[in-house]
Structure 1
Amino acid sequence: MAVCTDHLFKVLVVGDVRVGKTSVVLRSVRKSFSENYKTTIGVDFALKTVQRDPRTVVRLQLWDIAGQEQTRNLSRVFYREARGALVVFDAHNWPTLDSAARWKSDLDAKVSLDSGRPIPALLLANKCDLMEQRDRDAMAPSLDHFCLLHGFSGWFETSAKEGTNIEEAGSLLVEQMMTDSSDGLQQNKDVIKPGQRSGRSIASPCCWGGAR
């Protein structure tokens, strides 16, 4: 019988209020967009299943963390066991990029991989549909430097409204988390138990017909 590996990862989605975090999550999970989302209070959750290949299923727990300042007082609790993050800013509202640096610093201070390294975090320049192409082109070098400076593992221009690069960003983050998970399994192969914690690989009969 073919064996299918089933991975579970907790992914944080953080950033300031109204940068489009909830829109990014719902575009990814439901392939939809609405102008009428209410501001998240505390944390919302969504589940996404990805058929990475015929024998590998990846389940994502997306934690949509509220952007209010008071939420950061509880962030250590919310961040626990996370294996990846999407840090969102509003590309049409440049000051939110400064806040993205603070969110990344908060992540690095409060959650890490088993190896002690920071969890992989992608920067999403959301609402790019509101920008002129020349402004988007001019933004790229700045974001390259910003990501190097603050330790992001990459960045994407995204539009939750139009669906631009939402799946691409998610796919890259999954690949980064899978790499980190494989490294962790190699380092801890004598002590890992199936289902021990998020990010571990659980071997099971390959019975998945596709993403659900």
Structure 2
Amino acid sequence: MSLRKPRRDSDVILSKYNQKELLFKFLIIGDYGVGKTAIVRRYTEGKFSSNYKITIGADFAIKTLYWDPNTKINLQLWDIAGHERFGYMTRVYYKYAVAAALVFDISRVATFQSVKKWLSDLREKVTLQDGSSIPIVLLANKYDIQQSAIQTDQIIKFCKDNKICKWFITSAKDNLNIDNAMYYLVENVLRAKIDDDIRDSIRLRETLLIDENNGCCKSQ
């Protein structure tokens, strides 16, 4: 009987070339007009436009990263429409996500006030395999406007109170910190995946030991 683990959709092994190809789904969420689509397009296409169509439901784009000589990562960045907040469809859009960027417009207080509800909705509907929260970054976007309505200490306090480990001031227009934020998420997802694989190997080893012990215990 084979003890080989079943293949996961997010873990395709290209054994012929000794390469691992991973697929990760990231969510980009926040109120309407905070710049989610601009962030996704800047990161995946290296472009910026001030004229984007309103996102209906959800849209996604793909970014391929060659993380190291043996690891290729395909990122699906899901841009969730702002009006979908707390609706039934968010559960569908959130499915299989392993990380999220929570975005607000640094010049609009109301979008920062909405972050708490977005975060609650996300954590209610998405967890990792072990039940823990997915990695999340908070993005204070549109810094290029230079009209911040939210103080830095407010953002720091929010992150501390809600256990968000990292936040970034970002600008899709100026390409400020977009790559850094996504790099941080990828690093944390990979770390969580490594930990999960270690736990799987421990459980597999325990199963093998039990089987070996059972095989040695013969009646005299």
TM bracket (short chain): 0.7 to 0.9
Matches within 5 A, 1:76-91: 76-91=91-106
Alignment of 1:155 with 2:167, yes or no, is yes
Alignment of 1:35 with 2:50, yes or no, is yes
Alignment of 1:167 with 2:179, yes or no, is yes
Look up the match of 1:101: 116
Once the two structures are superposed, residues 139-194 of structure 1 have per-residue CA deviations (whole angstroms, 9 ceiling, x without a partner) of 322211111112223100000011000000010010011011111111224899xx
Match of 1:119 among 113, 134, 143: 134
TM-score between the two structures when normalised by the length of structure 1: 0.83
Aligned CA RMSD, in angstroms, stands at: 2.0
Match of 1:143 among 148, 152, 155: 155
Deviation at 1:131, TM superposition (A): 1.6
Look up the match of 2:4: none
Distance in 2 (alpha carbons) for counterparts of 1:122 and 1:59: 19
TM-score between the two structures when normalised by the length of structure 2: 0.80
Relative contact order, higher structure (CA 8 A, sep 6+):
1
Deviation at 1:74, TM superposition (A): 0.9
Distance in 1 (alpha carbons) for counterparts of 2:92 and 2:104: 23
Match of 1:62 among 66, 77, 85: 77
- Could you say if the C-alpha distance between residues 91 and 147 of structure 1 is closer, same or farther in structure 2, counting changes exceeding 3 Å? same
Structure 2 residues without counterparts, runs of 5 or longer: 1-15, 205-220
Deviation at 1:53, TM superposition (A): 1.8
Distance in 2 (alpha carbons) for counterparts of 1:79 and 1:171: 20
Look up the match of 1:180: 192
Distance in 2 (alpha carbons) for counterparts of 1:127 and 1:182: 34
- Could you say if the C-alpha distance between residues 143 and 76 of structure 1 is closer, same or farther in structure 2, counting changes exceeding 3 Å? same
1:68 counterpart SS class: helix
The 4+ residue runs of structure 1 with deviation greater than 6 A are none
- Could you say if the C-alpha distance between residues 69 and 56 of structure 1 is closer, same or farther in structure 2, counting changes exceeding 3 Å? closer
Q: Percent identity?
A: 41
8 A Cα contact 1:6 1:56, kept in partner: yes
